[in-house]
Amino acid sequence: MRIATEKEMKEIDRRAMEQFGIPGIVLMENAGLRVVEVIQELFKEVKGKVFSILVGKGNNGGDGLVVARHLHNRGAQVKVLLLADPEEFQGDARVNLTIWQRMGQPLYQVHQVNGINMVKVALLNTDMVVDALYGTGFYGSVNEKVSRVIELINASRVPVLAVDIPSGLEADTGRANGPCIRAHHTVTFGLPKIGLVVEPGAGYAGKLHVVDISLPKTLTESKDIARQLLTREMIAPWFKSRQSEAHKGTYGRVLVVAGSRGMTGAARMAAKAALRAGAGLVTLALPESSQPVAAAAIDEAMTRGLPETPAGTLALAALEPILAACGSADVLVTGPGIGSHPETVELIRTLLPKLTIPVVLDADAINAVAGAADLLAKLQVPAILTPHPGEMGRLLDLPVAEVQENRLDFARAAAKKWNLVAVLKGARTVIGAPDGSLYINPTGNPGMATAGSGDILAGLIAGLLAQGFSPEQAAAAGVYLHGSAGDLAADRLGQPSTIAGDILEFLPKAMQESWGRFS
């Protein structure tokens, strides 16, 4: 599903009206009806329920007036709270305001002197607030009167549904520069907007419902929009049914170079994740003193000891054995738990230009090239980079806060700069591809902020890559699956109690729920 900017969505609407001849008032009517349908699903029965609808003077307010009319016709009690003078309404919004007035329904003019008291009274007897104040064209901060209204609503315990976007939220950034509606549900039209699927905007939006208002698919599915929201429907076709005559070599061979003294858990989790992803053969190569520990704890993977430093990390002498092992592997994943010993750093920097198989670089393998990031551009093989914001900041020599402020831009910039797939982890993980494409992941939860979670993701992506997924597909599907498994674990165990092993345990269930016969 494509993700639009405010400008792109406006252009889609314009072309729908001018090129395809769909009147704007028809789009507004469809938008209002879709909102009512969502409300109907939430309440099961709206008859007798009380709704307070906040209406602004623009098209978002016009959508809200359509919602008011249809809820009234279905037997609900509706209070329309205007935050603009009726004389300011124009175009299709004016048409719908006139219809409401001709139906003999009252208007509560909150913009007037005693307007705040009207809101306070309305909140005493309301089953839901419908926010139709500002649409996707809003930027900056709301005025003082609207600020007070938003603060009252957010402080109440009344459920809130936002029409298209919560008022006070910027559609292109997900930022709120002042008071902003905290919605329980947001019904957005045609396509999700960037600000609804990245933080902090996703938190303000609550549960997102993307609805069809009859915009032509040639517009909403245009490849000119390079950002996409990951969905089950998108990634399911990338998985193929297993062949009856297949053997373990059919589904790829993954070499995991990971671990150090005291960090064998990271190595084991990466290897197990590659196996759970469906890879046919996995070899775990780690410092020789750690090899017996790993071999005793993981039955399904082969293990191999490598030369080590006195500190129990991978030594530079491991270079040739690693390259030799790559000769019988399809994918290399390295970084989990390898540490930052100077000799290990030198090993990674020497290894990368010599690789002949695709590589997934995670954790300390990423840190190893910080300060020498030009090595990434010299890779001769497809690569997937999986940094968290701190690691991305070190690679780009930027403060973490700056990376977090512009996650989409930096994921895209890194992918283009180094000609690889960049997976910028965190809330709403972003995947950047070398051609400028971006994917935003809606799955996952704060319970996944636990040691080992990233190791599992690295192994999972490598396991998919080994089975023939393109680097872009392996990263996107891996991130989606990883988050889905984390959601299942948190639903069962609670976010605070979720550990990395739980994510691994629920991975098969996540695969099964996502695409059934492909799992």
Residue 147 maps to a domain: yes
Whether residues 260 and 205 fall in one domain: no
Whether residues 196 and 280 fall in one domain: no
pLDDT value of position 287: 98
Residue 386 maps to a domain: yes
Cis bond leading into 200, ω under 30°?
yes
Whether residues 216 and 261 fall in one domain: no
Query: What helix, strand, coil percent values describe the chain, rounded to 5?
Result: 50, 15, 35
Give the residue among 94, 63, 68 at the shortest CA–CA distance from 81.
68
Q: Is there a contact between 427 and 444 (Cβ–Cβ < 8 Å)?
A: yes
| Total of domains in the chain | 2
Task: Determine how many CB atoms are found less than 10 A away from the CB of residue 514.
Answer: 21
* Summary count for the chain: helices (H), strands (E): 22, 17
Residue 512's pLDDT band (cuts 50, 70, 90): confident
d(CA 86, CA 98): 9
Whether residues 207 and 268 fall in one domain: no
Residue 517's pLDDT band (cuts 50, 70, 90): very low
What does DSSP say about strands 421-424 and 383-386: parallel, antiparallel, or unpaired?
Answer: parallel
Detail the DSSP E strand segments found in 393-436. Answer: 421-424, 430-432
- CATH number of the domain residue 375 falls in: 3.40.1190.20
Residue 193 maps to a domain: yes
Q: Which of 225, 250, 277 is the last residue of a domain?
A: 225
Residue 253 maps to a domain: yes
> What percentage of the chain exceeds 70 in pLDDT?
99
Give the residue among 437, 429, 438 at the shortest CA–CA distance from 461.
429
d(CA 182, CA 401): 24
Report whether pLDDT(212) > 90: yes
Give the residue among 269, 254, 385, 424 at the shortest CA–CA distance from 336.
269
Helix residue ranges, H only, 277-362: 291-297, 319-326, 342-351
Averaged pLDDT score across all residues of the chain: 95
Q: Which of 225, 245, 280 is the last residue of a domain?
A: 225
pLDDT value of position 114: 84
Report whether pLDDT(250) > 90: no
pLDDT value of position 32: 98
d(CA 491, CA 495): 8
DSSP per residue, 382-394: -EEEE--HHHHHH
What is the CB-side half-sphere exposure of residue 4 using CA atoms within 13 A? 22
Whether residues 263 and 213 fall in one domain: no
Mean pLDDT of 419-434: 97
- Cross-strand partners of 161: 130, 185
Whether residues 113 and 49 fall in one domain: yes
pLDDT per residue over 167-193, tens digit each? 999 999 999 999 999 999 999 999 999
Secondary structure letter of residue 315 according to DSSP? -
- CATH number of the domain residue 135 falls in: 3.40.50.10260
d(CA 236, CA 511): 10
- Cross-strand partners of 457: none
Q: Which of 225, 254, 285 is the last residue of a domain?
A: 225
Give the residue among 415, 379, 414 at the shortest CA–CA distance from 395.
414
Residue 519's pLDDT band (cuts 50, 70, 90): very low
> Domain range for residue 147?
6-225
Q: Is there a contact between 77 and 50 (Cβ–Cβ < 8 Å)?
A: yes
pLDDT value of position 136: 94
Whether residues 277 and 150 fall in one domain: no
Whether residues 248 and 187 fall in one domain: no
Work out the angle at residue 221's Cα, subtended by the Cα atoms of residues 231 and 2, and round it to the nearest 5 degrees: 45
pLDDT per residue over 9-40, tens digit each? 999 999 999 999 999 999 999 999 999 999 99
d(CA 68, CA 367): 55
Residue 515's pLDDT band (cuts 50, 70, 90): low
d(CA 114, CA 112): 6
Whether residues 266 and 405 fall in one domain: yes
Secondary structure letter of residue 243 according to DSSP? P
Residue 500 maps to a domain: yes
Whether residues 117 and 243 fall in one domain: no
pLDDT per residue over 471-499, tens digit each? 999 999 999 999 999 999 999 999 999 99
Residue 1 maps to a domain: no
Whether residues 58 and 138 fall in one domain: yes
pLDDT per residue over 275-315, tens digit each? 999 999 999 999 999 999 999 999 999 999 999 999 999 99
Helix residue ranges, H only, 221-359: 232-235, 264-276, 291-297, 319-326, 342-351
Whether residues 218 and 239 fall in one domain: no
Report whether pLDDT(80) > 60: yes
Residue 427 maps to a domain: yes
pLDDT per residue over 121-147, tens digit each? 999 999 999 999 999 999 999 999 999
* Residue 435, token pair as written in the block: 């051609």
pLDDT value of position 516: 63
